């Protein structure tokens, strides 16, 4: 890490969204509601998936991974943002800022690769249903899961290392509601060419490769669906994929808008709104998207609810 950062900057000031008290209170209530829904919804999916033997399938194993990831992802950023909305002093230490950047980026990258793995799972299930059990083995699912998390933390380490080596020369006011690479780099007082090159290469690997895998998987899936004999088979196959495509579109769209652009295009107000989608909105919507369009999960939730009522009676 650059010595200037250590010498002149020990903490950063996060400007957040607004200095207006009414706006801050309104945002606090909205974000708190979203965060509670995120934690409860994802936690419920984890519990139902683990306790219902009918859901012990690769698809729901990866869905559980996504739920765990979304809870940690939101918890890394939202509680601090909520505290700042009701605090006069919106500061964060250099160490906490670095940790928040690293963990957030690692989990975001993990989610990108996890979506690609989930698309492959759907591809095998629909295009090669007779070979699904032999292809998507427990060993393969476990290795795929571990690999997605490992890639997230490794690539994040590379990105954050180059980001934190950019000197800020005493500047410590970040126009954002949490510590993120683009916001931190806006404080730079030197040329960011090396960092921009590293960021571009990583974005190609992290965003474009998973997107290409997802698109190829779904092109083949759609071809298979169109060849099915009955409309019921086509409807069921399409239903299992539609929820995944909704989540992928929302997440990759917002992430691409944030990271697949030159640093000179950094606009604080716009980028804060974009960040809300992949930090707060997407983790909240994922449980709703996957449960509302999935009969197995919906039935499992009903059974779990009935069991809870009987337990309390």
* 150, 244 Cβ separation under 8 angstroms: no
From first to last of its 313 residues, what are the pLDDT tens digits of the chain?
A: 444 444 457 788 888 887 788 888 999 999 999 999 999 999 988 988 888 888 888 988 999 999 999 999 999 999 999 999 988 888 888 889 889 999 999 999 999 999 999 999 989 988 888 899 899 999 999 999 999 999 999 999 998 988 888 877 777 888 888 888 888 888 877 777 777 788 888 888 888 889 899 989 888 888 888 877 777 767 766 776 777 787 888 888 888 877 777 666 667 788 888 888 888 988 988 888 877 667 777 777 777 777 777 777 6
Range of the domain at 128: 3-312
The CATH number of the domain holding residue 250 is 1.20.1070.10
Buried/exposed 283-295: b ≥16 CB within 10 Å, e otherwise:
bbbbbebbbebbe
What end-to-end distance do the CA atoms of the chain give, in Å? 59
> In terms of DSSP bridges, do strands 91-93 and 11-14 run parallel, antiparallel, or are they unpaired?
antiparallel
Q: Name residues whose C-beta falls within 8 Å of residue 53's C-beta, 6 or more positions apart in sequence.
A: none
Helix ranges, the chain (H): 3-8, 21-51, 58-85, 94-127, 132-135, 138-164, 181-185, 193-203, 209-226, 231-259, 268-276, 282-292, 295-312
- Strands in 173-174's sheet, in edge-to-edge order, are 91-93, 11-14, 173-174
| CB of 222 closer than 8 Å to CB of 244 | no
* Residue 181 near residue 84 (C-beta atoms within 8 A): no
Number of domains forming the structure of the chain? 1
Entry pTM: 0.87
DSSP secondary structure letter of residue 173 = E
Q: What is the DSSP letter of 52?
A: -
């Amino acid at each position: 890490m650059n010595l200037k950062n250590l010498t002149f900057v020990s903490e950063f000031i996060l400007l957040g969204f607004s200095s207006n008290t009414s706006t801050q209170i309104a945002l606090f209530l909205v974000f708190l509601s979203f965060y509670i829904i995120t934690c409860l919804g994802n936690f419920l999916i984890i519990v139902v998936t683990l306790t219902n033997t009918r859901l012990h399938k690769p698809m729901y194993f990866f869905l559980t991974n996504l739920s765990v990831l979304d809870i940690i992802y939101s918890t890394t950023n939202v509680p601090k943002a909520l505290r700042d909305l009701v605090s006069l002093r919106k500061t964060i230490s250099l160490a906490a800022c670095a940790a928040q950047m690293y963990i957030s980026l690692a989990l975001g990258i993990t989610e990108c690769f996890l979506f690609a793995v989930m698309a492959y799972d759907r591809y095998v299930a629909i295009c090669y249903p007779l070979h699904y059990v032999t292809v998507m083995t427990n060993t393969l699912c476990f290795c795929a899961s571990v690999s997605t998390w490992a890639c997230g933390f490794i690539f994040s380490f590379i990105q954050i290392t180059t980001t934190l080596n950019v000197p800020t020369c005493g500047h410590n006011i970040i126009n954002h509601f949490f510590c993120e690479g683009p916001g931190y780099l806006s404080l730079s007082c030197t040329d960011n060419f090396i960092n921009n090159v590293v960021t571009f290469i990583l974005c190609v690997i992290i965003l474009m490769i998973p997107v290409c895998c997802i698109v190829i998987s779904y092109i083949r899936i759609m071809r298979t669906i169109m060849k099915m004999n009955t409309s019921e088979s086509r409807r069921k196959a399409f239903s299992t994929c539609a929820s995944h495509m909704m989540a992928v579109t929302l997440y990759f769209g917002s992430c691409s808008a944030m990271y697949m652009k030159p640093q000179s295009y950094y606009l604080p107000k716009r980028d804060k709104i974009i960040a809300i989608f992949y930090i707060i909105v997407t983790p909240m919507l994922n449980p709703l998207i996957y449960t509302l369009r999935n009969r197995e999960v919906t039935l499992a939730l009903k059974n779990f609810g009935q069991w809870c009522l009987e337990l309390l009676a």
